[in-house]
């Protein structure tokens, strides 16, 4: 077998640990690469003895090829350990140090980051896929997507650069509370001037990159509950990109509203003087969000009460906006030259861009010009939402109390019916209590105690409580060795008169 040079070995090790930033992840990554690519059995020499390696080198089992004794070891060879340690990577400059103590180690072990990128308008060619592959050897990469998750290290690339060069959408989720979605679309379809009306740094930002506009929408909730399925949200959210390009500004308003909604969870999220900030133009249709808009609102943790308040001044969408018959007639009336140009672009793989441009022209621009609608301050929105939430919770509490009272009445009626049945012949119930105790099962003990409570109530009503106490005392003495039963007697306070 031809031996690899040091440079070739260095390259292989670098490939194995390219996404790893600490010793633990380096070991795991190195192990995974060996498990995936190592072909066993094979022969080699260990300490001058020819052996056959039959299992992974991290669980090395060596069998002698000749008369040498069998050998085994539970760790990689010294050569691999030495080369592995040479490639230990430091955390990037400016990053937060980790692993400085037991608490940091526990925090690292629970870390989770999820990255996803989508190419919608134009799939990546082989060269572009190779370029993004250089940023991560373990990511799942296709012509239209890039997904990876990290439990120890971090993504080596820049999400913003990824959108500038390759992708149209990006989703980022962490288990410490960050939810972020980035969208790239042609700046001719969503001008920066329009988007900036809804920007709140750092929660909602917009920037121009060449022919595109890049939106960055973020929600932070440190210590919040993990939202199941948040890392699978991009496919549900991606539709807002087409909606924005077609002039529907509801996604931007939802992001703005969710950003200020953070103030209800974190009182230090904004300065107090931002109470008087006016909301941006309120788009139509906030009472009837699309499925992608609902997914975006959920992902950004938009409070439902705050959305209800915001929607109060939002007019309904005009019924003809997306009328299929009207759209078909509009397309028929397109100039032949313009229509053929659109068809050619579709045939060249530009279908998504053509769809956005056609819908934008069909709808006649965006709803951003609704400046004549009433505009409320941030404080008005938040205070009204808080009052609405309080009223809703109060009504829910009253309803729960009424339901509990009704259930209590039903339980009381059922118990009275049961007591009447027992009172007709208490000896039948005493006999059943004896049988249950003799069964020597915890569940039967519980039933026996409940029946004794009923017998005590009947005796008290009949003025025979003393007789009940004598009979219960005899029962207790008879079964005094049954500690589980006696403990239940004591907890039930059976020797105390019922209240």
In order, the DSSP letters of 142-155 are -SSEEEEEESSS--
Higher pLDDT, 91 or 351: 351
Mean pLDDT of the region 365-386: 78
Angle at 183 between CA 177 and CA 185, to 5 degrees: 170
Query: Is the pLDDT at 320 greater than 60, yes or no?
Result: no
Which long-range contacts link 223-229 to residues 24+ away (Cβ below 8 Å)?
223/177, 224/177, 224/265, 224/301, 226/175, 227/179, 227/298, 227/299, 227/301
Q: Name the CA dihedral angle for 284, 290, 292, 298, rounded to a multiple of 10 degrees.
A: 80
DSSP 415-444: HHHHHHHHHH-HHHHHHHHHHHHHHT-HHH
CA-to-CA distance for 136 and 132, rounded, in angstroms? 7
The two structure tokens encoding residue 368: 């951003």
Per-domain boundaries in the chain: 6-86, 110-376, 425-492
Instruction: Categorize the per-residue pLDDT at 10 as very low, low, confident or very high, splitting at 50, 70 and 90.
Output: confident
CA-to-CA distance for 357 and 54, rounded, in angstroms? 61
What does the pLDDT read at residue 128? 96
Of the ranges 95-104, 365-374, 395-404, which one carries the lowest mean pLDDT score?
95-104
Higher pLDDT, 302 or 228: 302
The two structure tokens encoding residue 166: 């390759």
Buried b (16+ CB within 10 A) or exposed e, 164-174: eebbbbbbbbb
DSSP 352-385: HHHHHHHHHHHHTS-STT-TTS---BHHHHHHHH
What does the pLDDT read at residue 98? 37
pLDDT tens for 99-143 read 333 334 434 445 899 999 999 999 999 999 999 999 998 999 999
Please report where in the chains the tokens 């906030």 appear, as a residue: 286
Of the ranges 20-24, 136-140, 447-451, which one carries the lowest mean pLDDT score?
20-24
What does the pLDDT read at residue 85? 31
Please report where in the chains the tokens 């592959």 appear, as a residue: 133
46 bridge partner residues: 49
What does the pLDDT read at residue 102? 36
Higher pLDDT, 64 or 350: 350
Range among 22-26, 102-106, 453-457 with highest mean pLDDT value: 453-457
Instruction: Categorize the per-residue pLDDT at 60 as very low, low, confident or very high, splitting at 50, 70 and 90.
Output: very low
State how far the alpha carbon of 257 is from the alpha carbons of 20, 196, 270, 314, in Å: 38, 14, 13, 13
Higher pLDDT, 24 or 167: 167
Note if the bond before 232 is cis, omega within 30 degrees. Answer: no
Within 348-492, strands assigned E span none
CA-to-CA distance for 178 and 90, rounded, in angstroms? 24
CA-to-CA distance for 88 and 181, rounded, in angstroms? 32
The two structure tokens encoding residue 483: 């500690």
Contact by Cβ (8 Å): 157, 275: no
DSSP 189: T
Higher pLDDT, 93 or 431: 431
End-to-end Cα spacing for the chain? 91
DSSP 272: G
Higher pLDDT, 200 or 317: 200
Instruction: Categorize the per-residue pLDDT at 78 as very low, low, confident or very high, splitting at 50, 70 and 90.
Output: very low
Residue % of the chain over a pLDDT of 70: 80
The two structure tokens encoding residue 481: 């060795």
DSSP 278: B
Prediction pTM value: 0.62
DSSP, collapsed to helix, strand or coil, labels residue 250 as helix
Query: Is the pLDDT at 72 greater than 50, yes or no?
Result: no
CA 405, chain centre distance (Å): 37
463 phi-psi bin (left φ>0, alpha ψ -120 to 50, beta other)? left
Within 2-77, residue ranges assigned H as helices are 6-16, 23-37
Percent helix, strand, coil in the chain, to 5, is 50, 15, 35
Give the mean pLDDT of the chain: 81
Contact by Cβ (8 Å): 424, 344: no
State how far the alpha carbon of 387 is from the alpha carbons of 54, 263, 304, 313, 391, in Å: 70, 15, 13, 17, 6
Task: State the helix-helix crossing angle for 378-424 and 442-461, rounded to 10 degrees.
Answer: 70
DSSP, collapsed to helix, strand or coil, labels residue 476 as helix
Query: Is the pLDDT at 310 greater than 90, yes or no?
Result: yes
CA 153, chain centre distance (Å): 20
């Amino acid at each position: 077998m031809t031996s690899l040079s040091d440079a070739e070995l260095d390259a292989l090790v670098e490939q194995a640990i390219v996404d790893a930033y600490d010793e633990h992840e380096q070991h795991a990554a190195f192990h995974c690469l060996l498990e995936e690519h190592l072909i066993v059995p094979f022969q080699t020499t260990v300490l001058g003895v020819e052996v056959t390696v039959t299992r992974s080198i991290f669980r090395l089992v060596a069998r002698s090829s000749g008369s040498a004794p069998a050998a085994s070891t539970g760790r990689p060879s010294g050569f691999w350990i030495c080369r592995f340690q040479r490639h230990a990577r430091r955390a990037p400059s400016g990053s937060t140090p980790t692993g400085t103590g037991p608490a940091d180690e526990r925090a690292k072990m629970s870390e989770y980051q999820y990255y996803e990128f989508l190419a919608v308008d134009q799939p990546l060619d082989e060269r572009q896929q190779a370029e993004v592959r250089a940023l991560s050897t373990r990511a799942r990469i296709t012509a239209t997507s890039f997904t990876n998750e990290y439990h120890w290290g971090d993504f080596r690339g820049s999400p913003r650069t990824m959108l500038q060069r390759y992708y149209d959408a990006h989703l980022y989720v962490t288990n410490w509370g960050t939810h972020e979605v980035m969208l790239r679309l042609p700046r001719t379809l969503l001008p920066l001037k329009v988007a900036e009306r809804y920007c709140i740094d750092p929660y909602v930002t917009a920037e121009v990159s060449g022919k595109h506009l890049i939106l960055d929408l973020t929600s932070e909730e440190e210590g919040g509950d993990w939202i199941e399925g948040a890392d699978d949200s991009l496919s549900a959210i991606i539709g807002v990109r087409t909606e924005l390009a077609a002039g529907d500004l509801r996604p931007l308003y939802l992001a703005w509203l969710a950003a200020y909604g953070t103030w209800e969870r974190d009182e230090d999220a904004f300065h107090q003087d931002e109470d008087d900030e006016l909301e941006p133009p309120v788009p139509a249709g906030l009472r009837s969000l699309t499925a992608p808009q609902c997914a975006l609102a959920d992902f950004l943790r938009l409070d439902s009460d705050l959305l209800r308040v915001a929607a109060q001044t939002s007019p309904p969408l005009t019924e003809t906006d997306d009328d299929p018959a009207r759209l078909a007639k509009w397309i028929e009336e397109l100039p032949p030259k313009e229509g053929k140009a659109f068809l050619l672009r579709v045939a060249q793989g530009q279908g998504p861009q053509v769809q956005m441009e056609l819908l934008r022209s069909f709808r006649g621009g965006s709803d951003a010009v609704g400046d004549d609608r009433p505009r409320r301050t941030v404080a008005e929105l938040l205070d009204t939402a808080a009052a609405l939430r309080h009223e809703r919770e109060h009504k829910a509490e009253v309803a729960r109390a009424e339901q509990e009272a009704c259930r209590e009445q039903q339980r009381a009626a059922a118990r009275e019916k049961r007591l009447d049945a027992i009172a007709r012949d208490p000896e039948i119930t005493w006999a059943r209590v004896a049988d249950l105790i003799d069964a020597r099962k915890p569940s039967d003990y519980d039933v026996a105690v409940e029946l004794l409570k009923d017998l005590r109530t009947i005796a008290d009503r009949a003025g025979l409580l003393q007789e009940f106490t004598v009979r219960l005392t005899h029962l207790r003495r008879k079964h005094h060795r049954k500690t589980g039963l006696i403990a239940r007697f004591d907890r039930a306070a059976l020797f105390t008169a019922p209240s």
